[in-house]
Amino acid sequence: MGIPDPAPAVLLLGQILVNGVLLGGLYGLMALGMGLVWGVLNIVNLAHGSLIMLGGYCVYFLYTGAGIDPFAALPLAMAAMFCFGYALQRFLLSLIIRSAMLNTLLITFGLDVMLTFLAQLAFSADLRTINPPYAGDNFDVLGVTIPVAPLAAFAVAVLLAAALSAVLARTRTGRAIRATAQNLTAARLHGVNPRRIYALTFGAGAALAGAAGGLYGMVSQITPYVGVTLTAKSFVIAILGGLDRPLGVVVGGVALGVAEAATALYLDPTYTNVISFGLLVVLLVARPAQLFERA
Amino acid sequence: MTRRWLPVAVAAAALAAVPWLGSETLVQYGINAILLATLAQGWNIIGGFTGYPSFGNSVFYGLGTYGTAIAMAQYHLPFGVGLAVGAVLGAACAVVFGLPILRLRGPYFAIATLGLSAVMSAIIANVEIAGKNIGLILPLFRGDLLFYELSLGLLVLATATVAWVSRSRFGAGLVAIRENEDAAQVMGIDTTRWKVMALTLSAVFSALAGGIHAYWITFIDPASAFDSTLNVKMVIMTVFGGPGTVLGPVVGAFLLSAISEVLASNVSTVAGAFYGLVIVLAVVFIPRGLMDVSSGFRRMGWRYFADNVRRHRL
Amino acid sequence: MRRIPTLLLATAMSLPAPALAQNKAVTLGAALQLTGALANTGRYYRDGYQIAVDRINAKGGVAVNGTRRPLALRLLDNQSDVNLGVRQYVQLLSQDKVDFLLGPFSSNDALDDSSVAEKYQVPMVQGGGASGQIFARGYKYIFGTLPPAGDYFQSTVKMLKHLSPAPKTAALVSADDAFDVAVAKGTRKICAANGLEIVVDKQYPEHNAEFSSILSLIKSKDPDVILWSGHEPQALNFLRQAKTLGVSPRLMYSFTVGVPTADFRKALGKDAEYAFGMTPWLPSADLKDDWFGDGAAFAKEFQERFGYQPDYHAASAVADVETFAKAIEAAGTLDRAKVREAIARVDFRSIYGQVKFEQNGQISMPQTVVQIQDGQVVPIFGDDFAHKPRYPLPAWSKR
């Protein structure tokens, strides 16, 4: 090859960037559902991580039990999680939707506790991994290793974000969702059934969480307790990205992924949380204007 | 006025007598419940009265914990000094971070405080003198009686403070901020100053509770000191009991603690799930807290619960 | 096999021999991680304690001053919450009035809970905390059956010197909690003493899931050996991410956790091959025991009853219960101070190995180096080679 080897430091940086971007895409997907539900329904879903976890188990059992390839199992898991989310919103969350925002936080917290417990009861605390034969594959580009599974996860994340964006902008249902988010009364006047729209939206959020869970199981592992940290991460990214702007959320995820990877290398891995949450606080404090429109 | 406070004073005296009347286990649960009640009262000031739902009170609690622990374990200072150090740290944090963060409204304030707590925990995990992520070991003190009465004293102080707040101009101003901050500002209330004061007051109580807890339990680490589920518990207990009331947080804290401890000691494996269920049911049927139930019940009887649902659903 | 993890079932399952049934039981209490983040390992202790108690009762219980009395267990679920665990230990002592205490899993929990034992002056024998911190406070009532954290890699490094080609450089990756910091400290000394140069020395936050930066750094430094210390879920992530990023040390890697444990190997499948680890215990027929016969028989009985293979956590738990049995018989009384003295003096063989505590209350046991070969945990090196290691490590692409 005519291209000379780049200096080791540059290679390392390149690798870090690749790691950060690919992981960040998956983070973005995780946050997508939370941002959607928050932006449209004004529900801050503390059980979001549990939905990711349940989606992960769906794909795990479809793969190990029925032998379905994880990527093929994703749509199935998403459908299952959609139904679950729809029911959850329709029959439980709709009961408190007009009470103080704080109450949605609390009820979703309670839900999270219950879902985690039920998962432990049903699935035990064993570590589960979704390990298709190609999970460890990778290929080299200019000395930088590109892992296949995270790359595919990234692609899925971008795809789903683009799809969500398109649905919100171009379809009738999407416009109805956006209208409901902006002005419930006006939307009602135009014939929108808010019950259905809200349930649809929450279902969609759960479906996206489910997809993220399945992908997460491929790059990491699934236990009943993975939900909590994932909820926290999703918070940070949803806010970074602007809640119900799907592509913004994915970009936010990527930004966080790169920031964490860089911190781990150039500072120390023990500072990654300082950076991610510090970023969150700084952002919130420094740019309140953009967020006030939604308050 | 004396008539209203008499039952409260009797209850306080009864609580103070528990170490002699009750078992050791009860004292343990008592200390835990009382500290939680203090935390809930502290939260009540900023969350219940001022309407700023803080998810970062665990920061002040954690700083109180670490202030006391560092003073006692690293510098061998007495307990009282340790508590004071913790309180000062908590108050300082409230002022320094409160100013920028209190500019945010509603859920954004909540998220910012949550982020603050996480940042502080991560920072402490890297600080040498705090023992990094391994934590610190405090000297062992065999005297749960002291901890019990001290905690009770702190709770009484916190409740008395909240009672004073509820009757003062300060408190009225906080409520005005909660109901309509812009109008309050227009009426001449210095909202920033008062919000910071509320947060600081809240912080001091949280920090003192943290300091007592640290010495009682003799071992601290960042995860348990800055535990975010503790913050959620404070919020739930206050909301369950009645935010913006004087006794609500105490009642809520005691009741929920009792439920949780009874479950944990008897049916321990399903305790977690039941707790979650209790929370879900409470939010649906008594969203304005227990204190509201008695007056609501008097007005409407059993229909009170259904009415709550009707009012808040889609 | 589904087990309903309720206390009632557990108590019902401890069937004392008929003659014992009428004598008052000696109760051992513990607050364990039955649910929550550490439940995965907590269950080894629950099942280990249970099988030991049942086995001892089946063989006539414990002789206290002429009367044979059965053992009983009182277990609570601390939901992996350290603070709840402390309160539960106080409850066990003051409300449930247990006679003696068994320990939880994890050094952090053991650190906190042992303070209760010390405060109330009730002996606690725990098999879940290895950090030296637990035993450095001058407490008299805490004993531990896990060997010191700082020595974990001792036998591994010793073994490396006998292998060809001998490694020269190492990467040390450790978590930042009490146990792993102690391991890292000790390992640095061991490496220095044995001429192994540490070229990467990184600490990561305990529950961190992301190792890509550390792995990329390791790749750029190309060490011969990776010495890894942390919790099981993180070990899993590290290995999987190492594979996806194509990172492999030149000669071998060793983990302080995971390797001896069944669900770790299952979750990784083929990717677990070649990994080295260590364990203070193996299910060997050479480990004779007064109650179970030997280590192999114990492992078989455990597997049949609970449906999964025991590892050193379970064996350590059994050793804890047996320690109490021996100490109570030696003391001839249930007086706590006397039993405490007896525990400090025990020296007996068990399915876990020789149980004897050092001055500070911690057991001293060598770690056996093990390796995963064809999905099995194979003992490789104790004082010398028991089996041939698969060495050096082939690159990921060549497996």
B302 in any annotated domain: no
Q: Determine how many CB atoms are found less than 10 A away from the CB of residue C16.
A: 22
Chain C contacts in chain A segment 23-62 (CB below 8 A) = 23
Touching check for A269 and chain C: CB below 8 Å? yes
**Residue C35 to residue B269, Cβ atoms within 8 A:** yes
For A108-133, b/e burial (b = at least 16 CB within 10 A) is bbbbbbbbbbbbbbebbbbbbbbbee
Percent of chain B beyond pLDDT 70? Answer: 97
Q: What is the DSSP letter of C385?
A: B
- For residue B10, being part of any structural domain is answered with no
Find the helix or strand (DSSP H, E) in which C274 lies.
Answer: none
Question: Coil, helix or strand for C276?
Answer: strand
pLDDT score recorded for residue A5: 59
Q: What is the pLDDT of residue C20?
A: 62
For the segment A34-44, the average pLDDT, to the nearest whole number, is 89
Distance between CA atoms of residues B278 and C182, nearest Å = 42
| ipTM, two decimals | 0.83
C91 near A CB under 8 A: no
Q: Do B111 and A235 touch (CB under 8 A)?
A: yes
Domain membership of residue B85 (yes or no) is yes
Q: What is the DSSP letter of C8?
A: H
C124-126 and C100-102 strand pairing:
parallel
Q: What gap in Å lies between CA B33 and CA B147, rounded to an integer?
A: 12
Domain ranges of chain A: 29-131+143-226
Across the interface, do A126 and C220 touch by the CB < 8 Å criterion? no
For residue B67, what pLDDT band results from cuts at 50, 70 and 90?
very high
Q: What are phi and psi of B131, to 5 degrees?
A: 80, 10
Extract long-range pairs of C355-362: CB within 8 Å, 24+ residues apart: C355/C145, C355/C319, C355/C322, C355/C323, C355/C326, C357/C143, C357/C144, C360/C135, C360/C136, C361/C135, C361/C139, C361/C140, C361/C142, C361/C143, C361/C144, C362/C130, C362/C132, C362/C134, C362/C135, C362/C143, C362/C144, C362/C146, C362/C147, C362/C148
The pLDDT tens digits of the residues spanning C208-247 come to 878 999 999 999 999 999 999 998 889 999 999 999 889 9
Q: Nearest Cβ partner of A136 from C216, C233, C396?
A: C396
pLDDT tens digit string along B246-299? 999 999 999 988 888 777 776 656 777 777 888 888 888 888 788 788 778 888
Please tell me whether the overall predicted TM-score, pTM, comes out greater than 0.90 for this model.
no
Cβ contacts of A232 on chain B, cutoff 8 Å: 114, 118
Nearest CA-CA partner of C327 in C351, C293, C350, C295? C350
B142 and chain A: CB distance < 8 Å anywhere?
Answer: no
Residue of A86, A89, A105, A243 for testing the chain B interface, max B β-carbons within 10 Å: A105
Residue C66, classed as helix, strand or coil, is coil
Q: A184 falls in which pLDDT band (50, 70, 90)?
A: confident
Which has more pLDDT, A188 or C276? C276
Smallest Cα distance from A241 to chain C, Å = 22
- In our burial notation (b when 16+ CB lie closer than 10 A, e otherwise), range A214-236 reads bbbbbbbbbbbbbbbebbbbbbb
Query: The tokens of A211 are what?
Result: 């997809």
A38, A95, A111, A184: best to mutate for the B interface, most B CBs within 10 A = A95
- Helix, strand, or coil here: B227? coil
Domain membership flag for residue B196: yes
Residue labelled with tokens 């009961």: A95
C271 closest CA partner among C303, C235, C299, C296? C235
What DSSP letter does each residue of C180-243 carry, written as one string?
HHHHHHHHHHHHHHTT-EEEEEEEE-TT----HHHHHHHHHH--SEEEEES-HHHHHHHHHHHH
Q: Which tokens is C77 given?
A: 């679920």
Cα C234 from Cα C231, distance rounded (Å):
6
Single-letter amino acid, residue C198: I
User: Is B275 part of the contact surface with chain A (CB cutoff 8 Å)?
Assistant: yes
Asked if the Cβ–Cβ distance from B312 to A232 is below 8 Å, we say: no
What is the per-residue pLDDT across A214-246, written as a single tens digit (0 to 9) for each?
Answer: 999 998 889 998 998 899 889 888 888 877 788
Q: How far is B183 from chain A (nearest CA, A)?
A: 17
Phi-psi region of B270 (alpha: psi -120 to 50; beta: other; left: phi over 0): alpha
Task: Specify the pLDDT at position C13.
Answer: 45
Q: Least CA distance to B47: which residue of chain A? A: A102
Closest CA to A52 of A201, A202, A207, A210: A210
Q: Could you give the CA distance from residue B14 to residue A8 in angstroms, rounded to a whole number?
A: 71
Note the pLDDT of residue C19. Answer: 57
Q: How far apart are the first and last CA of chain C?
A: 34
Percentage of chain B exceeding pLDDT 90:
40
**B229 CB-near residues (< 8 Å, 6+ apart):** none
Q: Where are the alpha helices (DSSP H) in chain C?
A: 7-13, 39-58, 82-94, 107-120, 154-162, 178-193, 212-221, 232-244, 262-268, 295-306, 312-331, 336-345
* Neighbour-count burial of C105, counting CB atoms closer than 10 A to its CB (0-12 exposed, 13-18 middle, 19+ buried): buried
- Flag the least confident range among A32-46, A196-210, B221-235: B221-235
Taking phi over 0 as left and psi of -120 to 50 as alpha, with beta for the rest, C166 belongs to beta
- Side-by-side strand order, sheet with C276-279: C197-204, C169-175, C225-229, C252-255, C276-279, C368-373, C376-381
Cα C377 to Cα C275: distance, rounded to the nearest angstrom? 10
Q: Which residues of C touch A19 (CB under 8 A)?
A: 212-213, 216, 245
Residue B302 burial (CB count, 10 A): 8
Q: Taking CB atoms and an 8 Å limit, are A136 and C264 in contact across chains?
A: no
pLDDT (mean) for B224-234:
85
Helices first, then strands: H and E counts in chain A: 12, 2
- Of chain A, the end-to-end C-alpha distance in Å amounts to 57
CB B226 within 8 A of CB B207: no
Query: In Å, how far are B49, B272, C211 from B244, measured between CA atoms?
Result: 5, 28, 46
Nearest CA in chain B to A281: B112
- Residue C207 tokens read as 């529950």
CA distance C259 to C267: 11
Closest partner CB to C232 (pick from A120, A127, A261): A127
In DSSP terms, which residues pair with C362 in a beta bridge? C144
For residue B131, the enclosing domain spans 23-227
Closest Cα in chain B, distance from residue A123 (Å): 15
Contact assignment for A268 to C267 by CB distance below 8 Å: no
Please tell me the distance in Å from A78's CA to the nearest CA on chain B: 25
Sheet containing strand C142-144, edge to edge, reads C71-77, C26-32, C100-102, C124-126, C142-144
Q: What is the pLDDT of residue B268?
A: 59
Coil, helix or strand at residue A130? coil
pLDDT of the residue at C269: 87
Nearest to C355 by CA among C326, C381, C379, C330: C326
Q: Which residues pair with C229 in a beta bridge?
A: C174
Residue B65 lies in a domain: yes
* Selected residue of B58, B133, B233 to mutate for chain C interface (largest C Cβ count, 10 A): B133
Residue B194: both structure tokens together = 């008062």
Peptide bond into C165 cis (omega under 30): yes
Strand partners, B205: none
Q: Which of B106, B276, B313 sits opposite A101 (nearest CB)?
A: B106
Q: Are C26 and C335 in contact (CB under 8 A)?
A: no
**Residue B68 lies inside a defined structural domain of this protein:** yes
Chain C residues 166-225 with a CB less than 8 Å from chain B: 176-178, 181, 205-206
pLDDT-based confidence at residue A292 (cuts at 50, 70, 90): very low
Question: Does the pLDDT of residue B142 top 90, yes or no?
Answer: no
The count of C-alpha atoms lying within 13 angstroms of the C-alpha of C265, restricted to the half-sphere facing its C-beta, is 20
Report CA B314 to chain centroid distance, whole Å. 31
A21 half-sphere exposure, CB direction, 13 A CA radius? 12
As beta bridge partners, residue C277 has: C255, C370
- Among C34, C76, C139, most B C-beta atoms within 10 A, so best to mutate, is C76
In chain C, the largest separation of any two C-alpha atoms, in whole Å, equals 68
* Close Cβ partners of B114 (under 8 Å, ≥ 6 residues apart): A232, A235, B55, B56, B228, B231
* pLDDT tens-digit profile, chain C (399 residues): 344 444 444 444 444 445 566 788 999 999 999 888 788 889 999 999 999 999 999 999 999 988 899 999 999 988 888 888 888 898 899 888 999 999 999 888 898 899 889 988 999 999 999 988 889 888 999 999 999 999 999 999 999 999 989 999 999 999 988 889 989 999 999 999 999 999 999 999 888 878 999 999 999 999 999 999 998 889 999 999 999 889 999 999 999 999 988 888 988 888 999 999 999 998 888 899 999 999 999 999 999 999 999 999 999 999 999 999 999 999 999 999 999 999 999 999 999 999 999 999 999 988 999 999 999 999 999 888 989 999 899 988 888
Residue A195 with chain B: CB contacts under 8 Å: 314
CB contact under 8 A, A109 and B236: yes
**What is the crossing angle of helices C82-94 and C107-120, to 10°?**
30
Asked if residue B37 belongs to a domain, the reply is yes
Structure-token match 């993890």, residue found: C5
Name chain B contacts of C95, Cβ cutoff 8 Å. 23-25, 265
What is the model's pLDDT at position A295? 37
C369 close contact with A: CB closer than 8 A: no
